[in-house]
């Protein structure tokens, strides 16, 4: 696939904007439809596999305006129905199209606390952009207005301004709230509760806050400075951040209320427990969960071999099992760490892959070899217990299963060997089990997820929960939405007392 010339993209947008601005009559839908879709400038595959920097470089102001002007500003705004937090999408695109980026970001921030994050990692193609009338008119969802890219642009634009717009914090109320887990759910609750003037302490098990945004999603998709900026904002607002603090071990959940004087607790501990295949050879040296592999690479900066002490295997031939975002992130990280071959093994077809289409495209461009309708049967080791190969089976698709996706069925006697020295298992995550194990009074379902009511309240008095620990492994925007709901309930509870 040929890579667009970044300089050309930028120049084209300037010319296109000049032409639009010079028009005397207002834009009609057919004029908007004729405005060219703006590709995002990005690193070429050859450049980016040699570094960990962000792949997409972001729109220029002219590109953001031109792309926004493609929006029909529909009365019914079907895009808003596709957004889990119901951003006023036509509103912020209208402002961005006029070049009023301050107004655009202010509109977004009414509903979303993490626009620089969501603009980068939300699956817009299956949410807002799926419903976009422009994409529908052009009969191509890939040509919908790039809502996420404009969101990202205005969020980055705001961060570059000398004057930072800090959220207002009401006078101190004397009430105390504990937030357990510092992923998107916890960060959202901390901000929303703190704004009401309550004292907030954010407890995080890792040595760095940010959740999956910090330890899971790689730098080339989610620059850590952006996550750090959100944490810094919380600190400036007066939130206390306690790292290396494992609720359930360092302190029991019930003790936070009964002994430490917190008036309410939010649990946003995520889904960080990796699932394994349960096949022969999975305990061999060279088999990793994607979580471990990505945590070493991202949080512990193993990719920075010169400066970081974190060991990571020198993988040459890697097999990644799975077809979600986590699998793509692991495969693309392995490429950047210098693997000669990276094979992505998925037992369904590309149509059923849960990963974002963009990530699949990027992985292919970066040389990841896709094996669809195949799966591991066992991992084979050498006499030292190190991975030597993976025995695989071929699959075909049968009837749909409970998820609605067609069930993969192994083809008898289709075994074959794939020579590899590293296997990364990325087939999903379960909820973190520690709170459940150490807090018997909290109700969980059969998957170990915490059960909450429509207000985000758990079975325990004064304890709320949200994000992946409630939903199972889901998305950043859903975690943020759950956080907002729980924070509103906590604020209501404290205001009523």
Ligand X SMILES: Cc1cc2nc3c(=O)[nH]c(=O)nc-3n(C[C@H](O)[C@H](O)[C@H](O)COP(=O)(O)OP(=O)(O)OC[C@H]3O[C@@H](n4cnc5c(N)ncnc54)[C@H](O)[C@@H]3O)c2cc1C
Among residues 146, 269, 289, 333, the one that binds ligand X under rule CB under 6 A? 269
Half-sphere exposure of 35 (CA within 13 A, CB side): 32
Site membership for ligand X, residue 474 (CB under 6 A)? yes
Determine, following the binding rule CB under 6 A, whether residue 182 of this chain makes contact with ligand X.
yes
> Least distance in Å: CB of 483 to ligand X?
7
Return d(Cα 438, Cα 383) in angstroms, integer: 40
With respect to ligand X, which residue has the nearer C-beta, 134 or 253? 253
Could you give the CA distance from residue 61 to residue 253 in angstroms, rounded to a whole number? 47
What is d(CA 319, CA 418) in angstroms, rounded to the nearest whole number? 9
- How far is residue 369's CA from residue 397's CA, in Å, rounded to a whole number? 21
Q: Which of 58, 91, 272, 381 binds ligand X (CB under 6 A)?
A: 272
Q: Is 286 within 8 Å of 313 (Cβ atoms)?
A: yes
Contacts of 192 (CB under 8 A, 6+ apart): 113, 483, 484, 487, 488, 491
Residue 56's φ and ψ, nearest 5 degrees, are: -85, 130
> If we measure between CA atoms, which residue out of 324, 46, 380, 125 comes closest to residue 344?
324
Smallest CA-to-CA distance from 195 within 230, 159, 232, 234 is with 234
Report, in Å, the least distance between residue 349 CB and ligand X: 21
| Pick 43 or 269: Cβ nearer ligand X | 269
463 part of the interface to ligand X, by CB under 6 A: no
Residue 288 binds ligand X (CB under 6 A)? no
> Cβ 84 to ligand X, closest distance in Å?
10
Q: Could you say whether residue 184 binds ligand X (CB under 6 A)? A: yes
Query: According to the binding rule CB under 6 A, does residue 77 interact with ligand X?
Result: no
Q: Cβ of residue 19: shortest distance to ligand X, in angstroms?
A: 35
In DSSP terms, which residues pair with 184 in a beta bridge?
none
Q: Does 89 bind ligand X (CB under 6 A)?
A: no
Which stretch, 91-99, 104-112, 178-186, 334-342, contacts ligand X (CB under 6 A)? 178-186
Residue 181 in the binding site for ligand X (CB under 6 A): yes
Angle at 332 between CA 219 and CA 57, to 5 degrees: 45
Of 124, 325, 388, 439, which lies in the binding site for ligand X, with binding defined by CB under 6 A?
A: 325
Applying the rule CB under 6 A, the residues between 407 and 446 that interact with ligand X are: 432, 434-435
Q: Rounded to the nearest whole angstrom, what is the least distance from the CB of residue 384 to ligand X in the complex? A: 30
Query: Where does this chain bind ligand X (CB under 6 A)?
Result: 121-122, 180-186, 203-206, 211-212, 216-217, 246-248, 268-270, 272, 294, 325-326, 329, 356, 432, 434-435, 467-469, 474-477, 479
């Amino acid at each position: 696939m040929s890579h667009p010339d970044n300089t050309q993209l930028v120049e084209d947008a300037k010319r296109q904007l000049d032409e639009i601005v010079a028009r005397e009559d207002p834009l009609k839908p057919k004029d908007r439809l004729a405005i060219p879709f703006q590709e995002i400038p990005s690193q070429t595959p050859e450049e980016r596999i040699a570094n960990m920097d962000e792949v997409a470089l972001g729109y220029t102001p002219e590109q953001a305006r031109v792309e926004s002007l493609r929006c029909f500003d529909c009365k019914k705004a079907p895009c808003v129905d596709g957004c889990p937090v119901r951003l006023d999408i036509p509103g912020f695109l209208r402002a961005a199209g006029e070049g009023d980026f301050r107004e655009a970001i202010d509109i977004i921030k009414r509903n979303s606390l993490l626009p620089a994050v969501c603009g980068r990692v939300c699956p817009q193609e299956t949410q807002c952009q799926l419903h976009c009338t422009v994409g529908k008119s052009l009969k191509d969802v890939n040509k919908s207005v790039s809502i996420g890219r404009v969101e990202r642009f205005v969020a980055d634009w705001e961060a570059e301004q000398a004057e930072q717009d800090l959220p207002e914090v009401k006078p101190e109320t004397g009430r105390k709230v504990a937030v357990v887990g510092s992923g998107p759910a916890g960060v959202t609750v901390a901000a929303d509760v703190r704004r009401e003037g309550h004292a907030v302490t954010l407890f995080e098990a890792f040595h760095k806050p940010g959740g999956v945004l910090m330890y899971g999603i790689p730098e080339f998709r989610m620059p850590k400075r952006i996550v750090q900026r959100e944490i810094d904002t919380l600190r400036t607002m007066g939130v206390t951040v306690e790292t290396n603090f494992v609720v359930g071990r360092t302190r029991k959940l019930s003790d936070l209320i009964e002994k430490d004087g917190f008036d309410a607790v939010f649990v946003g501990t995520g889904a960080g427990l990796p699932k394994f295949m349960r096949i022969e050879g999975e305990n061999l040296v060279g088999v990793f969960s994607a979580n471990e592999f990505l945590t070493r690479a991202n949080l512990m900066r193993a990719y920075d071999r010169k400066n970081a002490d974190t060991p990571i295997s020198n993988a040459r031939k890697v097999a990644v099992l799975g077809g979600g975002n986590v699998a793509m992130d692991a495969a693309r990280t392995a490429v950047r760490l210098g693997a000669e071959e990276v094979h992505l093994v998925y037992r369904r077809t590309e149509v059923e892959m849960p990963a974002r289409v963009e990530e699949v495209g990027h992985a292919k461009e970066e040389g990841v070899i896709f094996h669809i309708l195949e799966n591991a049967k066992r991992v084979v080791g050498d006499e030292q217990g190190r991975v030597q190969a993976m025995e695989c089976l071929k699959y075909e698709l049968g009837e749909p299963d409970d998820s609605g996706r067609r069930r993969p069925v192994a083809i008898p006697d289709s075994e074959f060997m794939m020579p590899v020295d590293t296997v990364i298992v990325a087939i999903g995550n379960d909820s973190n089990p520690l709170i459940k194990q150490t807090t018997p009074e909290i109700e969980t379902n059969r998957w170990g997820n915490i059960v909450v009511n429509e207000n985000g309240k758990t079975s325990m008095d004064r304890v709320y929960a949200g994000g992946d620990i409630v939903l199972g492994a889901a998305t950043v925007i859903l975690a943020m939405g759950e956080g907002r709901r729980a924070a509103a309930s906590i604020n209501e509870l404290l205001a009523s007392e």
